[in-house]
Structure 1
Amino acid sequence: MSKLPLAQDRHSYRCVQRLRVRPSDVGAQQSVAPAQFLSYLEAGVSAYWRALALSEGTRKALVSEALQLRRCELNYALPARDDELLEVGLRCLSAQGPSLRMAAAVFRGPDCLAHGELEFQWQGEPARLGEASPQALQALVQAYESGQSMTLVRVGSWAELGAHAQAIRQSVFVDEQGIAPEMEWDAADMGCVHAVAYNRLEQALATGRLLEHVPGVAKIGRMAVLPASRGSGVGRQVLDALLQKARQHGFREALLHAQLSAEGFYVRAGFQRRGPVFEEAGIGHVEMVRPL
């Protein structure tokens, strides 16, 4: 069998979003109506912006103010049916000048069901984008397409990283989870090692801290990821950076108090539960440990 043209080759797409056909997507012919494929492309475009690790505010401004869809071409090859698992691929063709051109395709396994092209027009430099100018965003797209990492974790002191770490923790713990400010902020911050993850626009996305619990045991805490970046892997990057710092300091074990909703995240990172569930700041927690 000959190789599919590049536009239809599943492996040529930098960003791939999985989705499942819903009963409401299926028309009278027991297959997905052609117009419904446009909503699949919309889901793929949203996944592409998430993959750039943009902050929520920048991403919303990008979609609502900075870019306008000017052209959409889609060629249909095969039908999709109820409950089938599909993959929507997006790949940048050009990010130079006033327009952004992207190749798009919908796959079912190795089969290309539809493929085409999207063209967006840059709409100047909206104030809400701040440092994320069209030129900066074009460079960001080019870096993503070349396989570069979209995030970087910095490790340092409270004096170096505290402003960004504090803003993330205020948003997640105090504003979102309702933890009392007097329980969130303590004197230990000044002596901790802190980690903050940034995107390529220097926007802070996630944070955590490390301190000595008892001799030989490091305690990791205040792990927080902004909502728009959850599920992206940036929380694991912060955790790995803190674990690496703990090893460099000669600790033999890492301990943390995990919220019950995050226990699976830490299990995947090699931690194991130790002891019963307990309440901390009104939220169920469990102690977890792993060797270093």
Structure 2
Amino acid sequence: MQRQNFRCMHRLRVRWAEVDMQKIVFNAHYLMYIDTAMSEYWRALALPYEASMHILGGEMYVKKATVEYHASAKLDDTLDVGMRCARIGNSSCVFEAAIYCGDRLLVTGELIYVFADPATQTSTPVPAALRAILEGYEAGAEMVEVRTGDWNALGRDAARLRTAVFVREQGIPADAEADALDTSARHAVLYNRLGQPVATGRLLQQAP
């Protein structure tokens, strides 16, 4: 596997708790590195996982995970973990991973996920929308659409995002988060391919 084959690449550093008596990374941690990169892959798709799966009507379950070791990582090494969707079947998706230290390939892995009904955990077909997102991402397509407008057009989605980030996550008082400038500002909201608003900002004009 070549680094250029991966559009999604996540960087991390080996920590003290991840090495063994031989002072190399304990074998099980490589699978954790791959799983961490899988979370970054969903981020690259602009899909907030829980909310997106709710829209899609299912969940992704790991059916099989395999890891092949080629070389070892050591304490304080900087690793790049590549992740890509290699194949999409009727109800399953095959993801390939590769872990590099510089240009040296250390580990390759394969994860098979099955899309399933969370209530029964029985497999169901991969939704067409998810299939299109995965195929589009691997083909180099943009994962978000930027819409700009005034508060009347975008205020509802912008306010929802700002409340989630500033009020709920950061604890800013709700009455301090919004101000009178919203009505005159130019707003931008990013939407993912499921139509979910995922980011927002505003441009203020201080003078004509």
With the shorter chain as reference, the TM-score category is 0.7 to 0.9
2:79 aligned with 1:86 = yes
Question: Any idea what the Cα deviations from partners look like across 1:235-289, whole Å, max 9, x if unmatched?
Answer: xxxxxxxxxxxxxxxxxxxxxxxxxxxxxxxxxxxxxxxxxxxxxxxxxxxxxxx
Q: Which residue of 2 aligns with 1:35?
A: 28
Residue identity in the other structure for 1:104: A
Match of 2:101 among 103, 108, 117: 108
Q: Percent identity?
A: 40
Match of 2:59 among 66, 71, 78: 66
Larger of the two Rg values belongs to structure: 1
Structure 2 unaligned runs (5+)? 120-125
Whether contact under 8 Å (1:86, 1:106) holds in the other structure is yes
Whether contact under 8 Å (1:124, 1:134) holds in the other structure is no
Cα separation, partners in 2 of 1:84 and 1:164, compared to 1, 3 Å: same
Q: Which residue of 2 aligns with 1:189?
A: 182
Question: Any idea what the Cα deviations from partners look like across 1:67-104, whole Å, max 9, x if unmatched?
Answer: 11111122111111111111111111112310000111
Q: SS of the counterpart of 1:214?
A: coil
Alignment partners' CA distance in 2, 1:180 and 1:38: 40
Q: SS of the counterpart of 1:213?
A: coil
Alignment partners' CA distance in 1, 2:173 and 2:14: 43
Question: Any idea what the Cα deviations from partners look like across 1:103-154, whole Å, max 9, x if unmatched?
Answer: 111111111111131111111377xxxxxx8332221111111111111210
Q: Which residue of 2 aligns with 1:227?
A: none
Q: SS of the counterpart of 1:209?
A: strand
What RMSD over aligned residues (CA atoms) do the two structures have, in Å? 2.4
Range moving further from structure 2, 175-184 or 154-163: 175-184
Cα separation, partners in 2 of 1:181 and 1:36, compared to 1, 3 Å: closer
2:68 aligned with 1:75 = yes
Q: What TM-score do the two structures reach when normalised by structure 1?
A: 0.62
Alignment partners' CA distance in 1, 2:132 and 2:158: 26
Alignment partners' CA distance in 2, 1:11 and 1:53: 21
In the TM superposition, what are the counterparts of 1:132-151 in structure 2 within 5 Å? 134-151=127-144
Whether contact under 8 Å (1:52, 1:140) holds in the other structure is yes
Residue identity in the other structure for 1:168: L
Q: What TM-score do the two structures reach when normalised by structure 2?
A: 0.85
Residue identity in the other structure for 2:149: G
Cα separation, partners in 2 of 1:27 and 1:162, compared to 1, 3 Å: same
Shift of 1:187: 4.5
Cα separation, partners in 2 of 1:59 and 1:88, compared to 1, 3 Å: farther
Alignment partners' CA distance in 2, 1:70 and 1:134: 18
What is the total number of aligned residue pairs between the two structures? 200
Structure 1 unaligned runs (5+)? 1-7, 127-132, 216-292
